[in-house]
Structure formats: C-alpha cells, structure tokens
Amino acid sequence: MKLERILPFAKQLLAKAVKPGDIAVDATLGNGHDSLFLAELVGENGKVYGFDIQEEAIEASKERLSEHNMHERVTLFHEGHEKIKQKIPAADCGKITGAIFNLGYLPGSDKTVVTKPETTIAAVEQLLNIMEPEGIIILVIYHGHSEGAFERDAVLEYCQTLDQKSAHVLMYQFINQQNHPPFIVAIEKR
C-alpha cells in the first residue's frame, strides 16, 4: 500500500515539526510509544512532557522509556492534559514544536476511562497559545465506541471553528473502511 496508514502518517508529520533540542508534548501517554518517539526526535538536548490520568499509563511509559534509556528526556505528569499550561515550565512555553493526542481509552485497560471533549479542547487551546509558529498538534481520533463518537463530533466542531489565519487544520482518514477506523486531525499553528 502506497498511502500512509494513520499512525505512520502521524509520525511523519511530527518528524517534520520536531527537531533535536525542541520541546514536545505527549498529551495522552498510553503505553509510552509516542513519548519514546518524541524523545528520539528531541534528542539529548530536547524535552518531552507527558500527561495521563491513569497510573497504569504512567508506569508503562516509565518502563518503555527506561528500556530505551530515554527516561531523562521525558517528564511525566500524572495529570490530565487540560493542565498543560499549568505544568509545563514558563521557560519552555513558546518553544513547543509538536504534540500528540490519542483520544479514547488506554488499550488493554478499563474502557470506561476515556478522554473527554472538554479537556481535549482545553488542552489544544492551551497548546496553540504556547507553541512555536508552525508547531503541529496531532489528534488521533478513535471513535468506535459511544464516548469516542461524542468526543469526535465535539473536537471536529471545535477544529472547524479555528481561524485559518491562526491555524491550518487537516483531516486524514480512510473513508471506505469498516469498524470506525481511527483518523487524524492535524493542526499547524500559523
């Protein structure tokens, strides 16, 4: 297949935005895959800030980062992503070049603990205020469950209202696949 699948395309966009020495955000740690990827992108002199409300996600991310000797590049917060602006040091605000969200629930865990549209939108708004111009926010939207569909609709409605003078918004998805495949919304700050 020559078309990029969803997650490789998300990584391709992040790799265009995040360079060695940069600051990046993993807004939903999950099992630490994105934090590890971002830690590799920012290099020895960069920094990643990771957020999750579930202790299980914090522990899985710590383990994955330690296995790859990347734990010193990542600061983990056992907090919701709506606290990004409160938790990221002021010195790093304005220097963030990339952020990723995987919306929905933590794979292999309690499916009733899900991301919420109000916290996701609050976090995106905060990031847009503290990112560098041309910084990219990736929202991977998993919507195959009722809460996911509700969040999808709210997030898409919000993104469609973003002023084109302040952000470019892209939606990347396969439209002929069954079972509600995930898709991406990418927001580039202008």
Mean pLDDT of 114-127: 96
pLDDT band (50, 70, 90) for residue 109? confident
Q: Which residues contact 59 (CB under 8 A, 6 or more apart)?
A: none
Going by pLDDT thresholds of 50, 70 and 90, the confidence category of residue 35 is very high
Domain that residue 123 falls in: 6-189
Mean pLDDT (whole number) for 147-151: 90
Give the total number of structural domains in the chain.
Answer: 1
What's the chain look like in SS3?
CCCCCHHHHHHHHHHHHCCCCCEEEECCCCCCHHHHHHHHHHCCCCEEEEECCCHHHHHHHHHHHHHCCCHHHEEEECCCHHHHHHHCCHHHCCCEEEEEEEECECCCCCCCCECCHHHHHHHHHHHHHHEEEEEEEEEEECCCCHHHHHHHHHHHHHHHCCCCCCEEEEEECCCCCCCCCCEEEEEEEC
Establish if 132 belongs to a structural domain: yes
Q: Write the CATH number for 149.
A: 3.40.50.150
Flag whether 1 is in a domain: no
The pLDDT confidence band at residue 112, using thresholds 50, 70 and 90, is: confident
57-75 pLDDT, tens digit each? 999 999 999 999 999 999 9
pLDDT digits (tens, 9 = 90+) for 72-95: 999 999 999 999 999 999 999 999
Dump pLDDT digits (tens) for 128-139. 999 999 999 999
